[in-house]
Amino acid sequence: MILAFESLKSRDFQLKNIHTYPMRPSERVLKPRKKTGRKVSGFLHVLRGAGEVTFDGGAFRYAPGAVLYLPKGSRYVMTAEEPVEYYRVNFDLYVDGEEAFFSDAPLLMCRTAGRTFAEAVRELADGYAFLRDTVAETALLCTAFGALRRETEQDEARLAPAVGYLLEHLTEKHDCAALAAMCYLSTAQFYKLFHAAYHMAPLQYRSKLLADRAAYLLKTGGASVTEIADLLGFESVAYFSRFFKKQTGISPGRYQKEGS
């Protein structure tokens, strides 16, 4: 099960197999040893060093203070431009009895974690030999989760004017400079904050929203594919079909037929 990290605040979940410890690898290039990818899920809280994480379909940079999420099964290459030091926080997450992940690929959760998150992770690491699957250990990790969620929500609040505009003008074309200006941010700041909060570029997010709107209309609107393409501002049905299939993996006609 893949679910958004922010949705945990409204879900019942369990944490198991929590292991937190400091790492000071000597290698400048780190990656899962097995071809099947990373063996466990968890966070890396970077204390020292900077570099880049690359994976199939994306990449992001990290610096001291960053929190990375590396899901079980993911394959990536983490390069360090200088000696790196971090806390490794492994855990299994279950929602409704099913193992859950925040993504199937590495994520930059936040660029600079706050004091509450850092202190909870440090206490987890300090008590590693004593806090093993205990209530205290789970409580500390939940404290870290809550602090990280608040960091994410702060970024979302700063981005709210642009996100609101996208929702209200979904069928229009936009550029990042105009969206950034709505939030009183430079284009570079806006792009970094947006990617950290939503794990994708602003225009990718707009495409996702547009595909979601199209899917809703295809299932419930009673309109034809041609009418929906026109309603959503596409130049042609063919262009709409290519767009929808790229976003969802299925043609709009087939999606509508299977949903009826």
Write the DSSP assignment of 196-240 as a string of letters: HHHSS-HHHHHHHHHHHHHHHHHHHS---HHHHHHHTT-S-HHHH
Same domain, 18 and 146: yes
Q: What percentage of the chain's residues is helix, strand, coil (to nearest 5)?
A: 45, 20, 35
Helix 237-248 to helix 252-259 angle (10° resolution) is 70
Same domain, 25 and 135: yes
Same domain, 25 and 147: yes
Whether residue 193 is contained in a domain is answered as no
Same domain, 234 and 120: no
Same domain, 112 and 223: no
Same domain, 57 and 131: yes
CATH of the domain at 106: 2.60.120.10
49-102 pLDDT, tens digit per residue, is 888 888 887 788 888 888 999 898 888 888 988 889 999 999 999 988 889 898
Domain termination residue (choose one: 152, 168, 188): 152
Whether residue 121 is contained in a domain is answered as yes
Whether residue 181 is contained in a domain is answered as no
- Tokens of residue 101, six digits: 């992940």
CATH of the domain at 221: 1.10.10.60
DSSP state of 7: G
205 to 125, 177, 214, 230: CA distances (angstroms) = 36, 15, 14, 21
Same domain, 16 and 145: yes
Whether residue 179 is contained in a domain is answered as no
Whether residue 190 is contained in a domain is answered as no
Whether residue 162 is contained in a domain is answered as no
Domain, as residue range, for 239: 204-259
Same domain, 18 and 78: yes
Closest CA to 152 of 122, 114, 123: 114
What residues have CB less than 8 Å from 111, skipping those under 6 apart? Answer: 62, 63, 65, 66, 192, 196
Domain termination residue (choose one: 152, 179, 214): 152
Within a 13 Å sphere around the CA of 31, how many CA atoms are in the beta-carbon half?
A: 14
Write the DSSP assignment of 71-123 as a string of letters: -TT--EEEEESS--EEEEEEEEEEETTEE-BS-SS-EEEESS--HHHHHHHHH
Q: How far apart are the first and last CA of the chain?
A: 25
- Tokens of residue 60, six digits: 């992001």
Q: For the chain, how many structural domains are there in total?
A: 2
Same domain, 215 and 110: no
Per-residue pLDDT of the chain (260 residues; tens, 9 = 90+): 887 777 777 788 888 888 888 988 888 888 887 777 788 899 999 999 888 888 887 788 888 888 999 898 888 888 988 889 999 999 999 988 889 898 888 888 887 888 888 888 888 888 765 556 577 788 888 888 888 887 776 677 788 888 888 888 888 888 888 888 888 888 888 887 887 777 788 888 888 888 888 988 888 867 889 999 898 889 889 999 999 988 888 898 888 887 65
- Tokens of residue 14, six digits: 């369990």
Q: 41: how many CB neighbours lie within 10 A of its CB?
A: 22
Same domain, 124 and 227: no
Whether residue 161 is contained in a domain is answered as no
